[in-house]
Structure formats: C-alpha cells, structure tokens
Copies of this chain bind each other. A is one copy, B any other.
Amino acid sequence: MADIATRVYNHKWKIDPIVRSLLDTDFYKLLMCQSVFRNHPDTKVRFSLINRSTDIRLAELIDEGELRQQLDHIRTLRLTRGESTWLRGNTFYGKRQMFRPEFMEWFEELRLPPYTLEKRNGQYELTFEGRWPEVMMWEIPALSVLMELRSRAVLERLGKFELQVLYARAMTKLWEKIERLRGLEDVKVADFGTRRRHSFLWQDWCVQAMIEGLGTRFTGTSNCLIAMRHDIEAIGTNAHELPMVQAALAETDAELRRAPYKVLADWHEEHDGNLRIILPDTFGSRGFLENAPDWLAGWTGIRIDSGDPAEGAEAAIAWWTARGEDPTRKLIIFSDGLDVDKIVELHHRFAGRAKISFGWGTLLTNDFRGLVPGDGLAPFSLVCKAVSANGRPTVKLSDNPNKAMGPAGEIERYKRVFSVGAQAPMDVVV
C-alpha cells in the first residue's frame, strides 16, 4: 500500500532541516543558560566556530546557500508547547521543576539571534554575538548543522546500496562496541555525542541501540530532544563557558584567580547532588584543585575532560583523600575523546576506587572512520566557543596545550595567574 500522502509531504520540504527543535541541544546548555539568565542576563558575548581540523576544508565541502538555509531554519524555531511541558514537568536528576518559571517564560519566547557567516581560507567564519543567554544556545545547533552538512556532502556521491551498506557497517561497528561494553559489569555510559554527531537520525539510532544493548548500564543522553522522545534521562551539568566568560570579565588578576570558584559558588547555591560536578581543567586542573576552597571537596564528583584521563582521575582521588573525603563515594565522569578501548581501560583501573561514569561523545555518534574511500566521513574537531565577553577575549588553557584557546598574551597571563607549569601536549582527534 503506497503511502502517497507521506511521500508528497516528504517532497514538499524545501530543505531537509537538520535541527528541528530548540531541544535538539545538550542538557547542560539549558542548565547553564538558566544560571546565566539569572546571574548575567546582560553580558554580551561572542561565540565563534573553530575548526581545529584545518585539513577539512568545510567551505569547499559545504555549499554556503545550504548552510544559510539550515541556520535560517534554526532561527525560525521556537519551543513547542509539548517541549515546554516536558521541561517544566519532567524530573531531571531526581528533581522536579529544575527550570524556574521565569526562565521557562523567557525560553518559550526565545528565538536564536542573528549570525555572521564568511568564508576564509577554505573555512567558514561563523560567529554569533549578543546577550549571553541567547547566543550560548547557538553552540550545539551550529555544530550539528556543520557536521551533518559535511556528512551529506560526502554521502551525496554514494549509490543507494552503497549508502545502505555504509550504514550497515556503521551499525555493525557500533554494535560490536556495545557488545564489548556489555562485558563490563556495572559500567555506566551516557551519550554525549550531540555536537559532533554524524547526523540527527544516526545519533537517535545510536541511543536506541544503547538502550537495547546496555539496558541500565546506559544512563541517558545529553540530547534533550532524544531524551524526551525515548523517555530516558537527560544528562549534563556545566561546561567551560561559565569560567571562561566569568574569567574574561575579571578586572584584576586577583579577581581572575577567584573567578572559577565564583562560578562554582553560584552553582553550589543553585544545585545539589549529582549536579555538583567539578570541571577543573579550564585553566589547568592541578592549580585549580590545589587552590580550591574546602567546600568544593564536598561536591559529588569531577569531570575529566582533557589531559591524560587516568592521571586526572588519580589526581582527583589524591585530592579528595588529602581533603579528608572518601573517594569511593565520589563520582568521576570521563568525557574526553572516549572510545571503547579507553572506556574498558579506565573502568578496569578505577572501578571500586571511585564511582565511575563515561560521557561518550564523538566516537559513539560519529565513528564513520574507514567507511568511505579517502575517509571522508571521519569525525573531526569542530568547536563553537565563547571567544569574548563584554569585548574582552576569553581564554581556555585545559590540561592539553593543544586545546588552549585565546590570544597568546592572555594565555601567558592566565598561565601565570593560575600557576600552570609544563603540560604534556596530546593529539586532539575529536
């Protein structure tokens, strides 16, 4: 029975929109946005797309007109009534009414602000400027759109069965990873792969495969829309953008030194339990932990997002122990460039010494490595970051100098202020 209506409906779209909902974003963006909306509603920020994989010449792969259509489409989106109901009524991290009425009223009216798009050196310069709570909501959709348009550009050259076999191979690859994870008792893995996914539908498939394959060992997804649709947990706490912007706003070195803790003090006031997760690496984890106030040691856990993850976890365990905390009651979330080998290794090393959890990102939702000639679908390192706040440049150091961002002079100043010594550079794959 041919479904004529569906066929006609599918063909009458002028474009095939990549982002179809304001909830197709990471949960921590919403938590952070609520915090920013309360504490810094009028701070002006600038976010920029940065392609760290300069050999992927996005402006040559992706048609500018198509990119503009996708971005323009995102600007037409508004929170639907059902989405709003879900945010207002659902339980997140065991808590009802996570989102306050004032924030929800604002969010219901939100449309994303304008963007600026230019081509330079084979890359797109895509920037967003305006009030922080609005501009920050561009990060994830902008990344998803670029990633998926790049996928489409490569997929366009394939025949129908080549396409089917491509996805067959990708499915097989993921399932083999899931089967390996199944072998780990009590492993906890969440999907953190929205921003650098191959495509929305593929991320959605990956999540469903994780639900069936891992059962309760799959703890949820960072993607709000997918969490809503499959009635699973939305996962995420906070990210570098909070200390980066806060630090950029500091007037003096002393204020700069206090900035990362000020961010967490605000967070502490707002959240408890599993939302109290330290992200220590924005300006170097070592100094951050050494100089941290005692109340931070009482937080639930830590997220290791750069540097050698085992070293980072050992440092956290040592720090808790030194501060009189029991590490076995603490949560360590690994979230940097994970794949199954690394997950298995870290699980074996740390299970029992702390509670362990994995935020599996790009190599969950975009492991198309080796699947087309020339490896044209391999994931790459695209980010969208706050680059200035109220006209002042932001800086990120992280525990891997290859991930550092900001003007050279400012990087040096931050290194001095935060007493960052020698760091081991590591390749940034994704």
Which A residues form the contact surface with B (CB < 8 A)?
1, 3, 5-6, 9, 159-162, 164-165, 167-169, 171-172, 175, 208-209, 212-213
**Alpha-carbon distance A168/B9, docked complex (angstroms):** 29
The reply to whether A168 and B161 contact each other, CB–CB distance below 8 Å, is no
A–B Cβ pairs within 8 angstroms, 14 of them? A1-B5, A1-B6, A3-B6, A159-B212, A161-B175, A161-B209, A164-B209, A165-B175, A165-B209, A168-B168, A168-B169, A168-B171, A169-B172, A172-B172
What is the predominant secondary structure among interface residues of chain A facing chain B? helix
8 further contact pairs, Cβ within 8 A, besides A168-B172, A172-B172 = A1-B6, A3-B6, A159-B212, A160-B212, A161-B175, A168-B168, A168-B169, A168-B175
Within the complex, the shortest CB–CB distance from A109 to chain B, in Å, comes to 29
Query: CA of A175 to CA of B162 in the docked complex: distance in angstroms?
Result: 8
CA distance A162 to B5 in the complex (A): 31
B-side contacts of A172, CB under 8 Å: 165, 168-169, 172
Q: How far apart sit A164 and B1, CA to CA, in the bound complex (Å)?
A: 23
With the chains together, A168 CA to B213 CA distance in Å? 15
By a CB distance below 8 angstroms, the chain B residues around A159 are 212
- The list of the 10 closest CB pairs from A to B, nearest first, reads A168-B168, A168-B171, A165-B175, A161-B212, A3-B3, A161-B209, A168-B172, A1-B6, A169-B172, A159-B212
Contact B1 A161 (CB under 8 A): no
Within the complex, the shortest CB–CB distance from A208 to chain B, in Å, comes to 7
Which residue in B6, B164, B165, B208 is a CB contact (below 8 Å) of A161?
B208
